[in-house]
């Protein structure tokens, strides 16, 4: 047993040491901070079972703060150790921290309540110690292992992120030390990565790695060119300084700011525990809007005297803690890339990831947008990747870690055919996205089309969600949108998780949708580039669906906000052969509410309103003045559509002499009938010249 424990501890110590080296010395961590903390806690638990004098305890990586200094830089001994902070999380832990301090200071009741705290943001970068003598920067060092750091003075000077010389009225005294964090702003980081990529050079996984990687460059001209920043968070001054020495942490930061050091203004001074908690909440909300990464806040006792009184443990001060949020970025494995087919046929590659917690949420998938994105990020199947999730943003694969690419990793190849219907994929030269052009005959598109059609802002069929749409399509119950209107109670009851009440409710919803407005119907069709607003504009402009259907490109572009791209998309949709039949079937089911027709017609710039605009007209009998062909041409030039047979959808029947069965049918269906004289009266003079 003991033997096993010793072996296990040795193995885990080595493992942790490896991760420490990767993080601190190579800026290339392979596990997330959470996983590291978890491993450290587990090792701590095992080591607790050892005799306190056991040699394994002395060599434990848990006792080391950072990594050993790197070769290449001179080593600097810190005047006072650069420590670490204990981590806490959750509101209760903040109260516990306050209670612990009060008890250690032997304060009770109002005195305990009276303790005041300073809260700073915890910047996600690299800690620096800056020593000044006679107003000049004489040494800049990284934390290293906490006792010995690396001399990065040349880089700090080159980066111009801190005052190299303090102005004449130096308030900080002859000798002082400033500590703070060097980091890179998110916007600068993006720009840097774009530049690196353009030059074919290595990109960085996150701003922290970019900042740390830059600081560790032996050639200081690199730091001179990279957009680094610095925030000071600690000050150690000699007795000769400031006439009035700061007595609190916040006063120290104020003094640093006056002396010309960058100090973050988002902080909280003289706070009670409740104010600390309120600040933490605000900071968490603001986190994703900041232009720099933070991974938490640092809560400290304000009073420097009380800080000294409390003192230090081996690696951490007693008077301060880091309140940490879950990291917004984590590492995981890219297991597979699958292609999803959307409503408009767009084929989107989606990353299937080994589940990983990012920003407190378990992430298993992330969109990869398109083929080009995968190539740009050089993602291979099997790669270790960084995944990011900031605020409410959908998870995103940031970058691969090429050093960890397994031998059997494979490049992703975009499929040549639709993964769902095996139909052809097309990609217009100017576009990044491949599309399946099978339309409604592709079941993936049918499900999405159905969902869009039923959407709250389209036909508003409540209860028709993803699971139901999938079942309806998979079981072949809905092959066309029109099939929705043929569903019966018995059909619905065959579906999973469907009871009588739900089925009836759904049928009512479907029935109600027949009388939707024209605008909702147009939107519900899911025509590419036709959003809710365009659909409304089109409905108002054309007044009737048929008018929209027959509109020429030119007429379409006369509608508000419709340019050539939208117009073409509408026309392509409305003239796709498979969709024509689909639409006819659907329109048979609908009883759309058209907007006030005068408004619609008068808005057409193309000539005055006329009887035929947007109408479906049937001709029958013998005409005296025109041939059938001439009459049809006139009606079409006025924006009408001529069809061969009379149905419910016929608006007008033009009946000449000796009209027969079509006239009877029109009368029985209540279709308006006009004779040739009314026809002549209804056509504008310019059209009459056809004679």
Q: Give the interface with ligand IVH as residue ranges (CB under 6 A).
A: 83-85, 120-123, 127, 143, 181, 233-234, 298, 317, 320, 322
Task: Please name the helix (run of DSSP H) or strand (run of DSSP E) that holds residue 248, with its range, or none.
Answer: none
Closest CA to 147 of 69, 86, 72: 69
Question: Dihedral of the CA atoms 422, 428, 434, 438 (nearest 10)?
Answer: -30
Q: Toward ligand IVH, which CB reaches closer, 87 or 288?
A: 87
Q: Toward ligand IVH, which CB reaches closer, 324 or 377?
A: 324
For 515, residues 6+ apart whose C-beta sits below 8 A from its C-beta are 590, 591, 592, 593
Least distance from ligand IVH to the Cβ atom of residue 125, Å: 7
For 309, residues 6+ apart whose C-beta sits below 8 A from its C-beta are 105
Helix (H, G, I), strand (E, B) or coil at 31: coil
| Angle 551-554-555 from CA coordinates, rounded to 5° | 45
For tokens 């000049």, the residue is 136
89 in Cβ contact with 340 (< 8 Å): no
Least distance from ligand IVH to the Cβ atom of residue 359, Å: 19
Q: Toward ligand IVH, which CB reaches closer, 24 or 480?
A: 24
For tokens 């997330």, the residue is 32
631 in Cβ contact with 679 (< 8 Å): yes
Least distance from ligand IVH to the Cβ atom of residue 399, Å: 23
Closest CA to 622 of 585, 591, 660, 650: 660
Q: Which of 64, 122, 324, 377 is catalytic?
A: 122
Closest CA to 365 of 383, 380, 353: 353
Within 74-217, where are the H helices?
Answer: 91-104, 109-113, 153-159, 186-198, 207-215
C-alpha Rg value of the chain to the nearest Å: 36
Q: Toward ligand IVH, which CB reaches closer, 122 or 229?
A: 122
The 8-class DSSP code of residue 338 comes to: E
For 654, residues 6+ apart whose C-beta sits below 8 A from its C-beta are 617, 618, 619, 620, 623, 631, 635, 674, 675, 676, 679
Is-catalytic flag, 122? yes
Q: Toward ligand IVH, which CB reaches closer, 85 or 634?
A: 85
Dihedral sign for Cα 627, 631, 637, 640, please.
Answer: negative
Relative to beta strand 347-358, strand 435-436 is: unpaired
Least distance from ligand IVH to the Cβ atom of residue 180, Å: 8
204 in Cβ contact with 192 (< 8 Å): yes
Relative to beta strand 641-643, strand 228-237 is: unpaired
Q: Toward ligand IVH, which CB reaches closer, 119 or 518?
A: 119
Q: Name the residue whose CB lies closest to ligand IVH.
A: 127
Neighbours of 17 (CB within 10 A): 16
Helix (H, G, I), strand (E, B) or coil at 641: strand
| Angle 47-48-52 from CA coordinates, rounded to 5° | 90
Dihedrals phi, psi of 614, to nearest 5 degrees: 75, 10
Q: Toward ligand IVH, which CB reaches closer, 12 or 78?
A: 78
Least distance from ligand IVH to the Cβ atom of residue 146, Å: 9
118 in Cβ contact with 250 (< 8 Å): yes
Q: Toward ligand IVH, which CB reaches closer, 97 or 521?
A: 97
Q: Toward ligand IVH, which CB reaches closer, 129 or 569?
A: 129
Number of H helices, E strands in the chain: 28, 24
Q: Toward ligand IVH, which CB reaches closer, 24 or 615?
A: 24
Dihedrals phi, psi of 94, to nearest 5 degrees: -70, -45
Q: Toward ligand IVH, which CB reaches closer, 296 or 439?
A: 296
Q: Toward ligand IVH, which CB reaches closer, 322 or 592?
A: 322
- Written as six digits, the tokens of 653 are 């029947």
Q: Which residues on neighbouring strands pair with residue 411, listed in sequence order?
A: 380
Q: Rounded to a whole number, what is the distance in angstroms from the first to the last CA of the chain?
A: 109
Least distance from ligand IVH to the Cβ atom of residue 85, Å: 4
Least distance from ligand IVH to the Cβ atom of residue 26, Å: 17
Helix (H, G, I), strand (E, B) or coil at 221: helix
- Give the Cα separation of 214 and 207 in Å (integer): 10
Least distance from ligand IVH to the Cβ atom of residue 122, Å: 4
Task: Please name the helix (run of DSSP H) or strand (run of DSSP E) that holds residue 94, with its range, or none.
Answer: helix 91-104
Q: Edge-to-edge strands of the sheet including 126-133?
A: 136-142, 126-133, 175-184, 228-237
Region at 539 (left for phi over 0; alpha for psi -120 to 50; beta for the rest): alpha
Active site residues: 122
């Amino acid at each position: 047993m003991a033997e096993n424990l010793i072996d296990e501890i040795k193995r885990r110590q080595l493992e942790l040491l490896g991760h420490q080296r990767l993080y601190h010395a190579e800026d290339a961590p392979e596990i997330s901070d959470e996983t590291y903390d978890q491993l450290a806690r587990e090792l701590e638990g095992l080591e607790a079972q050892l005799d306190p004098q056991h040699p394994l305890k002395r060599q434990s990586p848990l006792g080391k703060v950072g990594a050993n200094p790197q070769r290449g830089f001179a080593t600097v001994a810190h005047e006072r150790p650069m420590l670490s902070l204990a981590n806490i999380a959750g509101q209760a832990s903040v109260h516990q921290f306050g209670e612990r301090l009060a008890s250690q200071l032997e304060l009770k009741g109002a005195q305990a309540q009276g303790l005041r705290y300073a809260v700073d943001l915890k910047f996600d970068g690299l800690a620096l110690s800056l020593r000044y003598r006679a107003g000049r920067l004489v040494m800049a060092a990284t934390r290293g292992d906490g006792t010995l750091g690396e001399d990065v003075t040349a880089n700090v000077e080159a980066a111009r992120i801190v005052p190299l010389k303090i102005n004449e009225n130096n308030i900080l005294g002859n000798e002082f030390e400033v500590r703070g964090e060097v980091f890179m702003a998110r916007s600068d980081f993006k720009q840097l990565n774009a530049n690196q990529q353009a030059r074919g050079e290595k990109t960085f996984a996150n701003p922290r790695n970019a900042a740390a990687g830059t600081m560790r460059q032996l050639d200081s001209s690199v730091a001179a060119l990279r957009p680094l920043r610095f925030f000071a968070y600690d000050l150690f001054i000699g007795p000769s300084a400031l006439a009035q020495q700061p007595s609190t942490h916040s006063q120290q930061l104020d003094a640093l700011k006056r002396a010309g050091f960058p100090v973050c203004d988002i902080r909280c001074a003289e706070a009670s525990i409740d104010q600390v908690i309120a600040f933490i909440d605000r900071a968490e909300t603001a986190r994703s809007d900041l232009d720099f990464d933070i991974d938490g806040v640092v809560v400290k006792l304000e009073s420097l005297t009380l800080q000294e009184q409390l003192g230090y443990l081996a690696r951490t001060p007693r008077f301060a803690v880091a309140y940490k949020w879950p990291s917004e970025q984590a590492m995981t494995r890219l297991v597979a890339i699958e292609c999803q087919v959307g409503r408009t046929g767009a084929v989107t590659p989606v990353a299937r990831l080994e589940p990983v917690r990012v920003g407190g949420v378990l992430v298993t998938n992330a969109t990869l947008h398109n083929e080009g994105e995968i190539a740009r990020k050089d993602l291979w199947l099997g790669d270790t990747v960084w995944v990011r999730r900031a605020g409410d943003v959908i998870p995103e694969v940031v970058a691969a870690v090429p050093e960890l690419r397994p031998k059997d990793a494979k490049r992703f190849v975009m499929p040549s055919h639709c993964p769902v219907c095996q139909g052809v994929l097309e990609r217009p030269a100017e576009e990044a996205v491949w599309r399946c052009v099978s339309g409604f005959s592709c079941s993936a598109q049918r499900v999405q089309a159905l969902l869009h059609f039923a959407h709250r802002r389209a036909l508003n069929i409540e209860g028709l969600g993803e699971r139901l749409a999938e079942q309806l399509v998979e079981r072949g119950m809905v092959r066309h949108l029109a099939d929705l209107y043929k569903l019966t109670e018995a059909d619905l009851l065959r579906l999973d998780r469907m009871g009588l009440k739900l089925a009836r409710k759904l049928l009512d919803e479907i029935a109600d949708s027949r009388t939707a407005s024209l605008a909702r119907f147009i939107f519900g069709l899911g025509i590419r580039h036709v959003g809710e607003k365009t659909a409304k504009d089109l409905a108002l402009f054309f007044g009737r669906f048929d008018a929209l259907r027959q509109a020429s490109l030119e007429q379409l572009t006369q509608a508000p906000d419709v340019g050539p791209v939208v117009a073409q998309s509408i026309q392509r949709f409305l003239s796709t052969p498979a969709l024509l039949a689909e639409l006819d079937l659907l329109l048979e089911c609908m009883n759309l509410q058209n907007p006030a027709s005068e408004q619609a017609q008068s808005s057409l710039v193309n000539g005055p309103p006329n009887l035929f605009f947007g109408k479906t007209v049937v001709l029958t009998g013998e005409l005296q003045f025109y041939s059938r062909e001439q009459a049809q041409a006139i009606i079409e030039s006025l924006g009408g559509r001529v069809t061969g047979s009379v149905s419910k959808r016929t608006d007008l029947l033009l009946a000449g002499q000796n009209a027969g069965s079509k006239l009877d049918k029109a009368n029985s269906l209540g279709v308006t009938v006009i004779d040739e004289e009314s026809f002549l009266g209804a056509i504008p003079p310019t059209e009459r010249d056809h004679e």
